[in-house]
Amino acid sequence: MKFDLVDIALFIIIFSIVFYYAYIRYREEKKKKEEQLIPNLKSYLEKLRKEKNEYSLKAEKFNDKIKIYSQKLKKIKENIGKYKWEKDDKKYLKSLKGTDFEWTFSFMLSILGFKVQETPVYKDKNIDFIVEIKGKKLCVDFVDFNQLKKIDEKYLDTLIKGKEKYRCNGIWIITNSKVDKETKKKVKKKGIYIWDYTDILQFFPSIMIVEDFYETETKLHNYELLHKETTDEIIRRETWIKEVEKKLEEAYRKKGKEER
């Protein structure tokens, strides 16, 4: 199929018209976009400033909550002596076993000012935790009412090896069961101190301190997390506001040149 000069000329004319129309549309859209740029940037800037203000108010509220719960934790520590053992507390103490018993009393030791750490190897040399206070380290094993029978010569000698391995100043066995005089005498001969059910009631605060402290500390940590997330949002808005302000300044400068 051959094209003559008339066909070619007609094609060029049609193409030129289409191209010109497309170019006009492009110029109109570009102009429209340029005209809308400043209003859009101003609207976005206003939105960001509003959001920043809202997050700032939230951050203040969360910070107030942090102060409240920090003070509550401080009061709990200052009033440890007020946590007396009630009938239900004693009953609950007797029922604790396994990891529940370990967690409850390791947490209580931390409330009382001890630095509590697990051994690198789980229950290494019969030791559950290494606790430290005023520069003194203690190897601690928690023995619930079901495990009392394990306290024999081999068990005690293994604890002593653990004391040497971790360079502890002493060894504590803490149990929620009553220990007979013969067992206490046997343990004492090895240079180990055992806290039994009776000793816990006499020298430790009520188990309720753990519940109160944990609940308050959890709320504090939650508000600290919310405060951090909110502060991060404020920082993001501040960054975006600076970017938009810069673009707005450039848009005004460009518009001023065009008007001249």
Is residue 238, in this structure, part of any structural domain at all? yes
Give me the phi and psi of 207, to 5 degrees please.
-60, -20
In a domain, 212, yes or no: no
Whether residues 68 and 177 share a domain: the answer is no
- Nearest alpha carbon to residue 58 among 220, 216, 234: 234
Instruction: Tell me which of 32-36, 55-59, 208-212 is least confident.
Output: 32-36
Do 134 and 114 have their domain in common?
yes
More confident residue, 12 or 246: 246
Q: How much of the chain, in percent, has pLDDT values that exceed 90?
A: 75
* 68/90 same-domain check: no
pLDDT band with cut points at 50, 70 and 90 for residue 253? confident
| pLDDT value for 179 | 94
Residue 192 lies in a domain: yes
With tokens 């101003």, the residue in question is 42
pLDDT band at 182, cuts 50/70/90? very high
* 47, two tokens: 């939105």
Decide if 239 is inside a domain: yes
**Domain endpoint, select from 179, 204, 229:** 204
Indicate whether 260 pLDDT > 50: no
**pLDDT greater at residue 260 or residue 149:** 149
Q: How many domains does the chain have?
A: 2
Domain-terminating residue out of 161, 176, 204: 204
Domain with residue 187: its CATH number is 3.40.1350.10
62 and 110 together in one domain: no
Q: Which domain holds residue 41?
A: 5-75+220-259
Do the domain assignments include residue 66? yes
Q: Are residues 106 and 183 in the same domain?
A: yes
Residues 100, 162, single domain; the answer is: yes
Whose tokens are 């993001």? That residue is: 236
Residue 85 in contact with residue 198, Cβ under 8 Å?
no
**Is the same domain home to 139 and 118?**
yes
Q: Which of 21-30, 77-86, 172-181 bottoms out in mean pLDDT, i.e. has the lowest? A: 21-30
Greater confidence (27 vs 137) lies with 137
| Residue 211, in any domain of the structure | no
Q: Are residues 96 and 130 in the same domain?
A: yes
Determine how many CB atoms are found less than 10 A away from the CB of residue 211.
14
Output the CA–CA distances (angstroms, integers) from residue 176 to 76, 97, 100, in the order listed. 24, 9, 12
| Environment class of 231 (CB within 10 Å of its CB; exposed 0-12, middle 13-18, buried 19+) | middle
Q: Is the pLDDT of residue 134 over 80?
A: yes
Polymer length of the chain = 260
- 62's CB contacts (< 8 A; 6+ apart) are 223, 226, 227, 230
Q: Are residue 90 and residue 166 in the same domain, yes or no?
A: yes
Instruction: Clarify whether residues 165 and 143 are in a common domain.
Output: yes
Residues 101 and 132 in one domain: yes
Q: Tell me, yes or no, whether 109 and 195 share the same domain.
A: yes
* pLDDT single digits (tens) 71-100: 999 999 999 999 999 999 999 999 999 999
* Residue in the block written with tokens 């203000």: 53
Which of 3-12, 51-60, 154-163, 211-220 is predicted least confidently?
A: 3-12
User: Using CB atoms within 10 A of its CB, is residue 176 exposed (0-12), middle (13-18) or buried (19+)?
Assistant: buried
